[in-house]
Structure 1
């Protein structure tokens, strides 16, 4: 069976970045298109795949860069504090200058603000069973540049709470259809979504977080 062109290009790019360093840039889509004799759409699809798999990341108006290679082996992260059977799979990661009005409201910024927002979406599994999907929206100005692609540190809320506070809300809702397949739940399943905001000592919100929890797997507990 013939290998699709975008897969060939994806493999070519992957092989070429093996000897490059974290945060090194790759060629532009235009240059890759010319060199590899392919349309920009095909090149973009190949790069999109590598971004989704965690090998590359994009910065708006700057380019595409190589992710932290320590995360390449399985593109999953293990939280040693919880269990060796817990896996974190990065579903989406990007750095951008705008977001939905909901996110802007929770971070107390507007669409004219020049703040860069890091967005990460990850699937949490235990013993290979999907537990929840998490969305993170983080103001880049609060993050150390060297930690941008160290997902285990970047997405560990506990590390922020040493000098910040977090408020949470538990919201009954119908599961967003886009996450039904990942959580292996029927469309229309009732769930509890946990929504959180992390604020600095001076009360400035800099992380907005949502967790869509699988009611068949994850039990939410509160101690009052």
Structure 2
């Protein structure tokens, strides 16, 4: 990265001489300011540590500490052998029932999927409970790795009673589009969210380190008459999403 580009991204080096503030915090502040100003965008590569250290007239240890802090806060992402990148975060409202495809397409991203399982079978205990099924009622399962602009963004395992979709190979794109075509698109859902450490197999699929913190979501969606139709479990990389909700005062 040439000197002009570093100047463009990070402004005047003398700005990092604020009294009483540790240098690594000033480097961190400069990086955050560049991201906030849109000079560095999600997915952009940060200049090498040695270039930043030289330009900002600080040690590489100082730059590395600032970057390590931002990696811990999921502002930056480091990839072995590729460098340090600005994390690409997707803001996803929790008060709107939308499919992954709808959320990503609204942001102009190209959606692709890798199928891990499409099958017809008997329900597991948690699926029976969520979908209010007996152990003898068949379900279809759709398990896939979802990409946006070529980046792994989510693992989704959806279970649907087979009376709505008998052939698991009938779905290629959006599950909600297929359900809508059959007149049974869900209209509301209950979601449970929690942070977990991801196992090695799923971490490999998402291209993140094993035991990384991810957001795990269980969603049970119902039709207009309140019938459960979808039970989906999703794993989202922690550095890729901001889930937001509007909260009202009920007093």
- Pick aligned residue for 1:90 from 108, 114, 131: 114
1:139 and 2:157 equivalent? Answer: no
Q: Please give the residue correspondences for 1:147-186 in structure 2 after superposition, counting only pairs within 5 Å.
A: 149-156=170-177, 159=180, 164-186=187-209
Which structure is higher in RCO with an 8 Å CA cutoff and minimum separation 6?
Answer: 2
RMSD: 3.0
Note the C-alpha offset of 1:185.
Answer: 1.2
CA distance in 2, matches of 1:109, 1:142: 13
CA distance in 2, matches of 1:213, 1:157: 23
Give 1:167 deviation, angstroms. Answer: 1.2
Cα deviation, residue 87, structure 1: 2.1
Q: Give me the whole-angstrom Cα distance separating, in 1, the residues matched to 2:178 and 2:188.
A: 10
1:190 counterpart (213, 218, 224): 213
Q: Does 1:108 align with 2:132?
A: yes
Residue 233 of structure 2 corresponds to 210
Cα gap change, 1:129 to 1:94, in 2 (>3 Å): closer
**Whole-angstrom CA distance in 1 between matches of 2:185 and 2:114:** 25
SS at 2:194's partner residue? strand
Distance, in Å, in 1 between the alignment partners of 2:228 and 2:138 is 14
Could you say which structure has the larger radius of gyration?
2
What is the DSSP-based 3-state SS (H/G/I as helix, E as strand, rest coil) of the residue aligned with 2:112? Answer: strand
Give the secondary-structure state (helix, strand or coil) at the position aligned to 2:132: coil
Match of 2:143 in 1: 121
Q: TM-score, normalised by structure 2?
A: 0.49
How far off its partner does 1:148 sit? 5.1
**Structure 1 residues 148 and 129 mapped into 2: Cα distance closer, same or farther (>3 Å)?**
closer
- 1:83 deviates by 4.7
Matched positions, count = 145
Contact 1:136–1:207, Cα closer than 8 Å, also in 2: yes
2: CA distance, partners of 1:206 / 1:199 = 5
Structure 2, unmatched stretches of 5+, are 1-100
Q: Distance in 1 between matches of 2:197 and 2:124?
A: 20
The equivalent residue for 1:130 is 152
Structure 1 distance, partners of 2:186, 2:125, is 27
* Structure 2 CA distance for partners of 1:98 and 1:148, relative to 1, 3 Å: same
* Structure 1 unaligned regions, length at least 5: 1-77
What does 1:1-150 align with in structure 2 at a 5 Å threshold? 81-83=105-107, 85-111=109-135, 113=136, 115-143=137-165, 149-150=170-171
Separation (CA, whole Å) in 2 of partners of 1:157 and 1:169: 24
In 1, are the aligned partners of 2:176 and 2:185 still within 8 Å (CA)?
no
- d(CA) in 2 for partners of 1:212 and 1:137? 15
Q: Which residue of 1 aligns with 2:244?
A: 221
Find the residue that maps to 1:151 and give its secondary structure.
coil
